[in-house]
Chains A and B, each alone.
Chain A
Amino acid sequence: MLINFIQWSKKSLFSNWWNSLITLFCIYLLFSIIPPFINWAILDATFSGKLKTDCTAGGACWVFISVWFEKLMYGFYPVEHIWRINLSFIIFIGTIGFSFFVREKYKLYILFFLIFIFPVIAFILIRGGFGLTIVETREWGGLALTFILAIFGIILSFPLGVLLALGRRSELPVIKYFCICFIETWRGIPLLTVLFAAAVMFPLLLPSGTFVDKLLRVAIGIAIFESAYVAEVVRGGLQSLPRGQYDAAKSIGMGYWQMNFFVVLPQAIKTVIPGITNTFIALLKDTPLIYLVGMAEILGIVNMAKANPYWLGMAVEGYVFAAIIFGVVSFILSSYSQKLEKKFSTENK
């Protein structure tokens, strides 16, 4: 075991002088970063208490997180109604978990449920109506809002992106050039501009008396913005498909939509799973930008909390906490996509 390790390290870490140098430098870096961080985050940290003054150990003050925890998770959502957010989340996770155990042919129904029915249920639960107290969207916030925006963005931008990608390859010039303009325009605008336009400018253009919820405007803005990126990723997949597949589908009498739905897209999307995952992770990490138009998802709450007079100087704890959450969620997304890739690649062989 030890001999193996020595041999391995000789071969991979110290094979010549510059490799040795790089190895030593990396070891030095790790030693200068990891122990202090562990000291700060765990050994010297304070975990219990209620006030900033409870943190006397000199390390991280996790009291900050525990005091603000509810706000970080749910924003200013009324405490007595928080169960509604939790329930939606449980339904979401439960459905995905459930999908691992059912047979292939039912998965399509689950997908249908997640795309078309779940958003309605979640919206009614979280916003209210039908006997539930209405909670205005300006009270939504925290991690819940991050998830709401990301999930809404993914569910809307994916089909829209696929349609745009198909449209861009259409033989009908009107559709083709419309899609090209649409994609290029949205890719040419920074997300921040989209957010400002949706939050501030768009209401000015509406006839007086009409009103579209601000969160909805922003969410649609994000979804359309991302759909342009999804479209280009999917187009890459469409182009990788041999012409023979189109010929074969046409030759057995399939129409345009049947051909695309049953033959072209399943293969094209399979090849671009890594690219799509990439876009969705980027979307997730773009959501904190909404802080700039006055909405507070998790990072926004951190910014708000660290400015609280009683908790000044707690920025690092807040950011580390947010970073860990974003890290974990991104990791889950990318492992799920790897699982999908593996599943599809074995299926064909």
Chain B
Amino acid sequence: MKEKVIELVEVNKWYDKFHVLKDINLSVFAGEKVIICGPSGSGKSTLIRCVNRLEEHQQGSIVVRGITLSHNTKNVEKIRGDVGMVFQQFNLFPHLTILDNCTLAPTWVRKLPKKDAEQLAMEYLKKVKIEDQAKKFPGQLSGGQQQRAAIARALCMEPKIMLFDEPTSALDPEMIKEVLDVMIDLAKGGMTMIVVSHEMAFAKEVADRVIFMDEGRIVEEKETKEFFANPENERTKLFLSQILG
């Protein structure tokens, strides 16, 4: 039995009166790759944003690597150091070069010496194949390059878990592949990943499990092959038929 690294029990969340997450139960094991899909507004992004507490949940418990998420800021910061996140809009820091984007957290959060931080950053920039862009500013890069830089920035904290919030949705079609390739590499390297995405080809290739969400609930949760071969829920079927065409 593998180690449980994320456990959500009966999680509920409201935005004012709007009930975004309803009774979410989810466990993720070390090294597992989980894809979350579903129509927009179904709470997918909110769910993974709860995992590193960019959003607060109101009911239930979320335990990440043995630490229960609460108002304790120190715990939250510790978890955020272990959990990397990649956003739809990249969210690189526009006033810093790509290299500085990557070394910022290692230098100030992990307190690495500057030289080590830079070496680490270059290593990961090489891994996502943009080491030649290190001295440029985010605005000078294409969308695909920016997203890969954002992945490198997250990896520089050497996280144990990576969260991806629709990482390819803001990209032009020809750039999606370069980002997915990086993510596939990462998956093959054994990283624990939760990915909110509609890239079904990617899901088929790397995912251990696929989760379908609708209206704040986990509607269906299956192993990848099962999910695509025998979806049970009507809404899942409809969604898959629309998305796979």
A contacts, CB < 8 Å to B = 242, 244-245, 247-255, 258, 262-263, 266-267, 270, 344, 347-349
Kindly report which residue of chain B lies nearest to residue A266, judged by CB atoms: B95
The docked-state distance in angstroms from the alpha carbon of A255 to that of B140 is: 28
Q: Which residues of A contact B93 (CB under 8 A)?
A: 245, 248-249, 263, 267
Taking CB atoms, residues of chain A closer than 8 Å to B104 are 252, 254, 262-263
| Chain B residues within 8 Å of A249, by CB | 93
A349 lies within 8 A of B109 (CB): no
The residues of A that contact B84 with a CB separation of less than 8 Å are 251-252
- Asked whether B85 is an interface residue with its Cβ less than 8 Å from the other chain, the reply is yes
Contact check, A347 vs B137: say whether CB atoms are below 8 A apart. Answer: yes
The segment from B23-31, B73-81, B214-222, B231-239 found at the interface with A is B73-81
A248 and B95 contacting across the interface, CB-CB below 8 Å: no
Q: Is B52 part of the contact surface with A, judged by Cβ < 8 Å?
A: yes
Q: What are 25 A-B residue pairs whose CB atoms fall within 8 Å in the complex?
A: A244-B87, A245-B93, A250-B52, A250-B80, A251-B84, A251-B85, A252-B81, A252-B104, A252-B157, A253-B80, A253-B81, A253-B105, A253-B109, A254-B77, A254-B104, A255-B73, A255-B109, A262-B104, A262-B108, A267-B93, A347-B137, A348-B94, A348-B95, A349-B137, A349-B139
Q: A122 vs B73: C-alpha distance in the bound complex, in angstroms?
A: 42
> Is B105 in contact with A254, judged by CB distance below 8 angstroms?
yes
Count of B residues near A, CB < 8 Å? 30
Q: Given A245-B93, A248-B93, does the pair A253, B77 have CB atoms closer than 8 Å?
A: yes
- The list of the 6 closest CB pairs from A to B, nearest first, reads A253-B81, A248-B91, A252-B105, A244-B91, A251-B85, A253-B80
Contact A247 B109 (CB under 8 A): no
**Cβ-defined contact, A270 with B95, below 8 A:** yes
Chain A residues, CB < 8 A from B87:
244, 247-248, 251
Q: Could you tell me if A347 and B95 are in contact, using CB atoms closer than 8 angstroms?
A: yes
The answer to whether the Cβ of B121 comes within 8 Å of any Cβ in the partner chain is no
CB distance from B109 to the nearest CB of A (A): 4
Kindly supply a per-residue 1/0 record for chain B positions 74-113, scoring 1 wherever the CB is within 8 Å of any chain A CB and 0 otherwise. 0001101101110101011111000000001100110000
**Does B95 contact A252, Cβ atoms closer than 8 Å?**
no
Q: Which listed residue (A253, A255, A267) contacts B94, Cβ 8 A? A: A267
Number of A-B contacts (CB under 8 A): 77
The listed residue (A255, A258, A348) touching B137 by CB distance below 8 A is: A348
B209 on the interface (CB 8 Å rule)?
no
For the complex formed, measure the closest distance between the CB of B193 and the CB atoms of chain A, giving whole angstroms: 15
List chain B residues, Cβ under 8 A from A344.
95
The complex places the Cα of A347 from the Cα of B89 at a distance, in Å, of: 21
What B residues does A258 contact at CB under 8 A? 108-109
Given A252-B84, A254-B109, A349-B137, 11 further pairs, Cβ under 8 A: A244-B89, A251-B85, A252-B80, A252-B105, A252-B109, A252-B154, A258-B109, A262-B108, A263-B104, A267-B94, A349-B139
Neighbouring B residues of A253 by C-beta, 8 Å:
77-78, 80-81, 105, 109, 157
Choose from A251, A252, A349 the contact partner of B140 (Cβ within 8 Å). A349
Does residue B9 face the partner (Cβ distance < 8 Å to A)? no
Q: Does B44 contact A (CB under 8 A)?
A: no
B139 to nearest A CB, angstroms?
5
**Which of chain B's residues have a CB closer than 8 A to the CB of A252?**
80-81, 84, 104-105, 109, 153-154, 156-157
From residue A305, how far is it (CB to closest CB) to chain B in Å? Answer: 49
CB of B50, distance to nearest CB on chain A (Å): 13
Tell me whether B67 is interfacial, beta carbon within 8 Å. Answer: no
Residue with the highest number of chain A CB atoms closer than 10 Å, among B78, B83, B105: B105
Find out whether the CB atom of B91 lies under 8 angstroms from the CB atom of A247: yes
Contacting residue for B52 out of A244, A251, A347, CB 8 A: A251
Bound Cα distance A242, B93 (Å) = 11
Question: Which B-chain residue is minimally distant from A247 (CB atoms)?
Answer: B54
| A28 CB, min distance to chain B CBs, angstroms | 50
Contacts of B91 in A (CB 8 A): 242, 244-245, 247-248
In the assembled complex, the Cα of A72 lies from the Cα of B95 at a distance in Å of 44
The answer to whether A251 and B137 touch across the interface, beta carbons within 8 angstroms, is no
Contact with A along B48-59 (1 / 0, CB 8 A): 010010100000
B153 to chain A, nearest CB (A): 7
Most B CB atoms within 10 A — which of A252, A255, A262, A266?
Answer: A252
Residues on A with beta carbons closer than 8 Å to the beta carbon of B105: 252-254
Shortest Cβ distance from residue B196 to the other chain A in the assembled complex, whole angstroms: 14
Contacts of B190-208 to chain A: CB distance below 8 A: none
> Within 8 Å CB of A242, what residues of B?
89, 91
Given known contacts A244-B87, A255-B73, A267 and B109 CB-to-CB distance under 8 angstroms? no
B residues within 8 A CB of A262?
A: 104, 108
Complex CA–CA separation, A344 to B54 (angstroms): 30
Cα separation A245 to B52 with both chains bound (whole Å): 15
A107 to chain B minimum Cβ distance, whole angstroms, is: 15
Task: List B contacts of A255 (CB < 8 A).
Answer: 73, 77, 109
Please indicate the chain A residues that have their CB under 8 angstroms from the CB of B54 in the complex.
247, 250-251
- A213–B81 CA distance with the chains assembled, in angstroms: 50
Q: Shortest CB–CB separation between residue A252 and chain B, in angstroms?
A: 4
Asked whether B80 lies within 8 Å of A267 as measured between CB atoms, the reply is no
A264 nearest in chain B by CB position: B93
Q: Give the docked Cα–Cα distance between A184 and B6 (Å).
A: 46
> Using Cβ atoms and an 8 Å threshold, which residues of chain A touch B153?
248, 252
